[in-house]
Structure 1
């Protein structure tokens, strides 16, 4: 996969290939600070009239709550891209109250660090992690640095262009996706070598407000009492005083090919850095960074240009690149043009498009350490001293000047510009190149020089200059008629994004995205740990095995409630239902009457004893409602079937009299009833329109139902048979308000609902539950009790405990179908010794 400039030009001159250049796609992203009527950073939340900053595809936020980020879709036509950005800007301007969008890249007057609000994305896990990530980069690089804004340009060649290029230049048997990815890396390397030219030609940040500097600002000159500047500089944003300081300080990521890039990124994402480790993960009970690795997240890798792939739901950026290769490249080094409402004009967009093709044509050997040092220094020097006469840059160890190297590139781009003028009749690419050539010959024509001249002529500080333009752009945008189609799209996305965030927050109330493969009760406990500053290490995901640590305190937990607080014998006592009943009976606690059998023949022989009763048949050792059967009077055939099934699960089977009343689950932790739920069998409520099967699907996917695939209502053989007893089928359409049950047993794990009854239960039953748990010395106990009327105090005749469970679930006490969240994880953590009192709120 090697070609020379001449070979590439020969390829591009083929008419079919020249025409395919027109199928390239262009997208823009722009960051803007919101400022108030005095030009100060706005301290208001992201306007609700703009939708959700987390889920709106075109209007979101960057580092700060005051920093809006605007995004366009990719377009084949460049003018459509700029037009869309202008329309998004206009929509935002129309929805700001007493605020403006800041016109420049460098911020104006900044308050103290603790007065700069971090972007807030709501309570869902993704939103919380985005906020924590921002806390981390604030600690690592400083808050003020994050207030710099810019424009990003997204570029890709068309698919057919790639096919033709692959056919022409790929090595034998070279995979298409690998070829495309590594060719994008070819462009990236050349951009890093030569991209300083964009900084020289379009850099627009020669000055900044003095409040931006965190320490001594004497390294820059004073333009006026409020403004520091680089007299010959082009872009403080892309200098060591801006983002470029991050690039210089970070771990070097190779861009020599996609495989080494993925390798280096994986290393940075997985490898701890001592400096960040010493910061800790939590401070005063609040999480302050995602981790202490070299990079918390892929987004933390600061570079002037990055390889990108469209990320699917549930994917990380690196996973997307590994699976599908590079899809487009993102140029991140563009300053906002303060003279344009859109922040970037057609002249710059045409040039950067032309430059991308030029980077494709040039040979691009691997970047070694010495060259990397050169290109970093070249970029820094152009940003700070780019307009200095005869400024020296270095290429392959040899000195050259900005002008000479720049003119050499302009001349090599001319034939490409001519081709583009053929396919874009109004493109003016050759005219554009002539304008850039003039800037190289006369630095006073560059935007950075014009901005300084304008400020000096008007005697304006950086704050005054940029604020004036901000107000002018705001008025311009309001005076122009919006594109109604785009405005309607943006309005629609406002309501859709708000609804989507609401759904995500409902979902995240009980699902932790990072731990969604773990069982729900473990997730409940992890959520509590996050709130209390307890570090969680998953030792075995399949077994839901955790190590919890805070300071010197360490506890091991399996499945949320298997802990050091219970002995092994306690679990065995509760697991064996025969032993459980005997111990409860000895402690004066009511249990169902019946017998225990180890022989099927004896159990069948005793049927006459039970013929006239309602019965429950179940294995002695069972949990989660497995193999439990309900038998009516005079149903010997079903009695025999139930016995045979139960004996397949255990050597001992219980036959018990069915206790009247409804079943309630009591959660006892450390001699305290922490929650009580009534479990209702799987059911749906009719609406007169949908079938039972459709209603089940609707309920399964309603976030308010708190159901996951493991607790969905499934309509299988058992459910169909149970519906048939009611003369119904899955296709029946129940009347509005009609409740239809699909099972007899009430387990939440088979689609049942949990109704919180903690505040309605007579306290005498709670006392019995605590006594029952104590009888087997259980620290954690899930106790199932049959009660006809929970308002009537307990007697030996009006209740029965049917089961003690040694590994009680937590989740349905926190997320009942009806009722309030009991936050039972707090009781677990208190019992384990991670007290809430240690957290500073």
Structure 2
């Protein structure tokens, strides 16, 4: 779609009957953070008792390890409220952690051996044991260091009024649920095409501690700083690169996004195809299981993708079955590093930019993507991850070379139009102001998160780990000094206590053995 075509769509949305249709965007955030000791070493302590059960507390849980906390906000139409909720959850949790801190960056440090990373424990219920065994499988497949990397997941859904307006404008007469699913898949394809821009702007993991490599060789042009810091002079987001949250075994999985049936079929094929690589690891049928099963993916969550179509699943329902039942309900963005310049791990500027960028991805034309096109988008991401802030970076745009600055300026020209439309709908100016501010980062990479991080790291004279540790201490003090905004200490304590009772109820409801439970879970999957 040309800029003219995009503006034509925006003009069709401008009359009074459609002007405000986009109002009501809903968001939710999941922020991961390692618990660390005051010296920076990863915590060996169990999940803090004061925050309740990791299995049943919907706001405060764990991810891969006992020490990798996950803070989950409820769905809200207010970005400010979401950030306040995130701050409240972290403030409350820090109060239950004694002298421990929250690691403020994505890449872990001060970990001598992967066995120092304790697997998350979810109790004695069948579903709790399944969650832990799944994580044991991840450890045995990929190692624990990769799983200790933290990120921020951004969930977004557009209001039904907006989909109705778009369907009217496009003259689509089919079921609205089908139109919505097709629209979200269009968004996903465009997001993948220009994911490199998110890494360029918000990538914040250009450095790591040498201990993370665990002796692995790498061809990346690392520079050294201090005693044990490695950094890429013009890199952006190691978390998204080959050293980060990737799975080379999945590179052959051709999961496509041109239709919902195609996407689901690709994932179901992966969770039902035995793996030659993992066949020697004992699964749940063994007396001492070390993974759930021997397939390419144990379950669908093992599929690593920077963006996912989602639907809230019913009890016992898999993510793909939920999608087939009701269509796509929202989108999960998984490409964000923890923002080291924000005590909550993400800030309002990022949310506002993502609002505009994802609306742009939805509204512009989105041709189908074949496998070669998806590979090009991955190669572009790798280029920016490793060298995005270098001058004269060349990307592959539809099979032809394109300068990063030229492509970025072209995207921002279209984002300005989308931001103007959104400002008019919401009666604000901040969308246009955000796009205007970030547009200058295209020609000045020192303004990007990774540019700022490398500059501050050098200026501090500290190793990466000690630099992050100082941030962690500052953020803990800031959380302690900030009053609750949305929640209260008593409310969050009640939630924690209720989650403990809820877990006891889950255990009591189990009526079959763990093996029979998994037999039933994997039957007909």
- The secondary structure found in structure 1 opposite 2:236 is coil
Q: Using the TM superposition, give the Cα deviation of residue 73 of structure 1 relative to its aligned residue in structure 2, in angstroms.
A: 0.7
Kept in 2: contact 1:25–1:157 (CA 8 A): yes
Q: Using the TM superposition, give the Cα deviation of residue 285 of structure 1 relative to its aligned residue in structure 2, in angstroms.
A: 3.3
The reply to whether residue 310 of structure 1 matches residue 312 of structure 2 is: yes
- The secondary structure found in structure 2 opposite 1:274 is coil
Instruction: Determine the structure 2 residue equivalent to 1:150.
Output: 151
Q: Distance in 1 between matches of 2:485 and 2:520?
A: 52
Instruction: Determine the structure 2 residue equivalent to 1:560.
Output: none
Instruction: Determine the structure 2 residue equivalent to 1:57.
Output: 58
The reply to whether residue 249 of structure 1 matches residue 251 of structure 2 is: yes
Q: Using the TM superposition, give the Cα deviation of residue 430 of structure 1 relative to its aligned residue in structure 2, in angstroms.
A: 1.3
Structure 1 residues 219-230: aligned runs within 5 Å: 219=220, 220-230=222-232
Structure 1 residues 93-112: aligned runs within 5 Å: 93-112=94-113
Q: Distance in 2 between matches of 1:124 and 1:327?
A: 29
Among residues 348, 351, 363, which one is paired with 2:350 in the alignment? 348
Q: Distance in 2 between matches of 1:106 and 1:251?
A: 26
Structure 1 residues 125-274: aligned runs within 5 Å: 125-169=126-170, 171-172=172-173, 174-214=174-214, 215-217=216-218, 219=220, 220-246=222-248, 249=251, 251-274=253-276
Kept in 2: contact 1:22–1:424 (CA 8 A): yes
Instruction: Determine the structure 1 residue equivalent to 2:29.
Output: 28
Structure 1 residues 119-130: aligned runs within 5 Å: 119-130=120-131
Structure 1 residues 634-713: aligned runs within 5 Å: none
Task: Structure 2: state its 5+ residue gaps.
Answer: none
Cα deviation per residue 1:468-523 (whole Å; 9 max; x = unaligned)?
00010000000111136444432221011100111112223x3347746xxxxxxx
Q: Distance in 2 between matches of 1:300 and 1:246?
A: 12
Structure with a larger share of its residues in strand: 1
- After superposition, the Cα gap between the structure-2 partners of 1:359 and 1:140, relative to the gap in structure 1 and judged at 3 Å, is same
Instruction: Determine the structure 1 residue equivalent to 2:117.
Output: 116
Kept in 1: contact 2:284–2:515 (CA 8 A): no
- The secondary structure found in structure 1 opposite 2:278 is helix
Q: Using the TM superposition, give the Cα deviation of residue 365 of structure 1 relative to its aligned residue in structure 2, in angstroms.
A: 0.9
Cα deviation per residue 1:41-68 (whole Å; 9 max; x = unaligned)?
0000001100100110110000011000
The reply to whether residue 389 of structure 1 matches residue 391 of structure 2 is: yes
Kept in 1: contact 2:107–2:239 (CA 8 A): yes
Instruction: Determine the structure 1 residue equivalent to 2:85.
Output: 84
Structure with a larger share of its residues in helix: 2
- After superposition, the Cα gap between the structure-2 partners of 1:513 and 1:74, relative to the gap in structure 1 and judged at 3 Å, is farther
Q: Using the TM superposition, give the Cα deviation of residue 248 of structure 1 relative to its aligned residue in structure 2, in angstroms.
A: 6.2
Whose radius of gyration is greater, 1 or 2?
A: 1
- The secondary structure found in structure 1 opposite 2:13 is helix
With CA pairs under 8 Å and 6+ residues apart, which has the higher RCO, 1 or 2? 2
Q: Distance in 1 between matches of 2:523 and 2:464?
A: 56
Q: How many residues align?
A: 519
Kept in 2: contact 1:151–1:336 (CA 8 A): yes
Instruction: Determine the structure 2 residue equivalent to 1:618.
Output: none
Structure 1 residues 329-344: aligned runs within 5 Å: 329-344=331-346
Kept in 2: contact 1:141–1:246 (CA 8 A): no
Q: Using the TM superposition, give the Cα deviation of residue 136 of structure 1 relative to its aligned residue in structure 2, in angstroms.
A: 1.1
Kept in 2: contact 1:239–1:245 (CA 8 A): no
Kept in 2: contact 1:103–1:336 (CA 8 A): yes
Among residues 465, 468, 493, which one is paired with 2:467 in the alignment? 465
Kept in 1: contact 2:88–2:486 (CA 8 A): no
Q: Distance in 2 between matches of 1:158 and 1:145?
A: 36
The reply to whether residue 448 of structure 1 matches residue 450 of structure 2 is: yes
Instruction: Determine the structure 2 residue equivalent to 1:798.
Output: none
Q: Distance in 2 between matches of 1:243 and 1:227?
A: 19
Q: Distance in 2 between matches of 1:400 and 1:244?
A: 26
Instruction: Determine the structure 1 residue equivalent to 2:360.
Output: 358
Q: Distance in 1 between matches of 2:249 and 2:463?
A: 29
Cα deviation per residue 1:331-352 (whole Å; 9 max; x = unaligned)?
0000111121111111111001
Structure 1 residues 487-506: aligned runs within 5 Å: 487-506=489-508
- The secondary structure found in structure 1 opposite 2:122 is coil
- The secondary structure found in structure 1 opposite 2:30 is strand
Q: Using the TM superposition, give the Cα deviation of residue 245 of structure 1 relative to its aligned residue in structure 2, in angstroms.
A: 4.7
Q: Using the TM superposition, give the Cα deviation of residue 14 of structure 1 relative to its aligned residue in structure 2, in angstroms.
A: 2.7
Q: Distance in 1 between matches of 2:158 and 2:486?
A: 30
Instruction: Determine the structure 1 residue equivalent to 2:13.
Output: 12
Instruction: Determine the structure 2 residue equivalent to 1:401.
Output: 403
Q: Distance in 1 between matches of 2:429 and 2:58?
A: 29
- After superposition, the Cα gap between the structure-2 partners of 1:540 and 1:190, relative to the gap in structure 1 and judged at 3 Å, is closer
Q: Using the TM superposition, give the Cα deviation of residue 443 of structure 1 relative to its aligned residue in structure 2, in angstroms.
A: 0.7
Q: Using the TM superposition, give the Cα deviation of residue 423 of structure 1 relative to its aligned residue in structure 2, in angstroms.
A: 3.2
- After superposition, the Cα gap between the structure-2 partners of 1:134 and 1:345, relative to the gap in structure 1 and judged at 3 Å, is same
- The secondary structure found in structure 2 opposite 1:420 is helix
Q: Distance in 2 between matches of 1:108 and 1:49?
A: 26
Q: Distance in 2 between matches of 1:343 and 1:538?
A: 35
Q: Distance in 2 between matches of 1:78 and 1:405?
A: 29
Q: Using the TM superposition, give the Cα deviation of residue 5 of structure 1 relative to its aligned residue in structure 2, in angstroms.
A: 2.3
CA RMSD of aligned residues (A): 2.2
Q: Distance in 2 between matches of 1:318 and 1:75?
A: 24
- After superposition, the Cα gap between the structure-2 partners of 1:391 and 1:538, relative to the gap in structure 1 and judged at 3 Å, is closer
- After superposition, the Cα gap between the structure-2 partners of 1:373 and 1:209, relative to the gap in structure 1 and judged at 3 Å, is same
Q: Distance in 2 between matches of 1:465 and 1:189?
A: 37
Q: Distance in 1 between matches of 2:523 and 2:422?
A: 57
Q: Distance in 2 between matches of 1:92 and 1:339?
A: 20
Q: Report the TM-score when normalising by structure 1.
A: 0.60
- After superposition, the Cα gap between the structure-2 partners of 1:47 and 1:537, relative to the gap in structure 1 and judged at 3 Å, is closer
Q: Distance in 2 between matches of 1:247 and 1:390?
A: 33
Q: Distance in 2 between matches of 1:337 and 1:538?
A: 37
- After superposition, the Cα gap between the structure-2 partners of 1:290 and 1:278, relative to the gap in structure 1 and judged at 3 Å, is same
Instruction: Determine the structure 1 residue equivalent to 2:414.
Output: 412
Kept in 1: contact 2:22–2:161 (CA 8 A): no
- The secondary structure found in structure 1 opposite 2:277 is helix
Cα deviation per residue 1:735-782 (whole Å; 9 max; x = unaligned)?
xxxxxxxxxxxxxxxxxxxxxxxxxxxxxxxxxxxxxxxxxxxxxxxx
- After superposition, the Cα gap between the structure-2 partners of 1:429 and 1:495, relative to the gap in structure 1 and judged at 3 Å, is same
Q: Distance in 2 between matches of 1:7 and 1:490?
A: 48
Q: Distance in 2 between matches of 1:349 and 1:164?
A: 24
Q: Using the TM superposition, give the Cα deviation of residue 153 of structure 1 relative to its aligned residue in structure 2, in angstroms.
A: 0.5
Q: Distance in 2 between matches of 1:229 and 1:540?
A: 47
Q: Using the TM superposition, give the Cα deviation of residue 250 of structure 1 relative to its aligned residue in structure 2, in angstroms.
A: 5.3
Kept in 2: contact 1:89–1:341 (CA 8 A): no
Cα deviation per residue 1:13-64 (whole Å; 9 max; x = unaligned)?
2334331212110111100000011111000000110010011011000001
Among residues 476, 481, 484, which one is paired with 1:482 in the alignment? 484
- After superposition, the Cα gap between the structure-2 partners of 1:303 and 1:170, relative to the gap in structure 1 and judged at 3 Å, is farther
